[in-house]
A and B are shown apart, each in its own frame.
Chain A
């Protein structure tokens, strides 16, 4: 890794993040929105790790932040998928449109 610049790693995570932004804004399917959300979270995790490695290589704050972010992302995905399955059971559709106006039945 001696001759890989910091900018290359940051460019990778920037492309990942804005692919996630595009998907988040342009898809109507809730599971696709969740996929885009995972892309954005993953890009942020990669940024934390890369900055930790290049700027402060003898500390591990960025690594632990990423560790906890991965755990929280898994929990968030589990709850989101439970909500999506519940919505599918109620309205027989997983699209974000006009038939999802009330969550409480």
Chain B
């Protein structure tokens, strides 16, 4: 029962804050609403008992990405100036497109997702299992994508410095 209440509270926070994040006029508020959405998503991961994933979400998104966002907002915007919107015709058109997609996906989810799937209380995945899966080379083990991601991060660091340096 208490889990249900927590889930629906998190769902309401996600729905309201994600709509507010794309409709507000102040860009720093938009970043703050995005932070609320990311933290609530971490809460849903915790409810689904993916504790490691929730910690990664908080550390990488709420820690790293949001600091980058706020840093770049403060670098490129005058404080207190509202951001401009698209032309009204474009906004109506994009709102219609988003509503149409929402209606289509909602219809599919409501009618076509089978209702026989039940949540199985499987408990938390142990950290040793995650560690072995990240560091192994067998089937269902992920050393190769792990190394590929580390190479990608190195390339991103070098690329970001090359793009943003002063000439």
Check: B15 CB closer than 8 A to any chain A CB.
yes
Q: Are A32 and B22 in contact (CB under 8 A)?
A: yes
* Residues of chain A within 8 A of B45, CB atoms compared: 49
B66 → A minimal CB distance (Å) = 9
A92 and B166 CA atoms in complex are apart in Å by 15
What 1/0 mask marks residues of chain B from 23 to 62 whose CB sits below 8 Å from any chain A CB?
1000100110010011001001101101001001100110
Size of chain A's interface in residues, with CB distance under 8 A?
A: 71
* Residues of chain B within 8 A of A46, CB atoms compared: 41, 44
* Residues of chain A within 8 A of B145, CB atoms compared: 64, 68
Check: B80 CB closer than 8 A to any chain A CB.
no
What 1/0 mask marks residues of chain A from 43 to 84 whose CB sits below 8 Å from any chain B CB?
001100110011101111101101110111111111101111
User: Among the listed B21, B122, B134, B142, which residue makes an inter-chain contact with A39, where contact means beta carbons less than 8 Å apart?
Assistant: B21
Q: Are B53 and A75 in contact (CB under 8 A)?
A: no
* Residues of chain A within 8 A of B101, CB atoms compared: 18, 21
User: Can you list 7 A-B contacts with CB-CB less than 8 angstroms, sorted by A residue number?
Assistant: A1-B7, A12-B11, A23-B21, A46-B44, A49-B48, A53-B119, A70-B57
Chain A residues with a Cβ under 8 A of chain B: 1-12, 14-23, 25-29, 31-32, 34-36, 38-39, 42, 45-46, 49-50, 53-55, 57-61, 63-64, 66-68, 70-79, 81-86, 88, 94-95
Given contacts A7-B110, A35-B22, 8 further A-B contacts (CB under 8 A): A7-B109, A15-B19, A18-B98, A18-B99, A25-B93, A26-B86, A79-B156, A84-B76
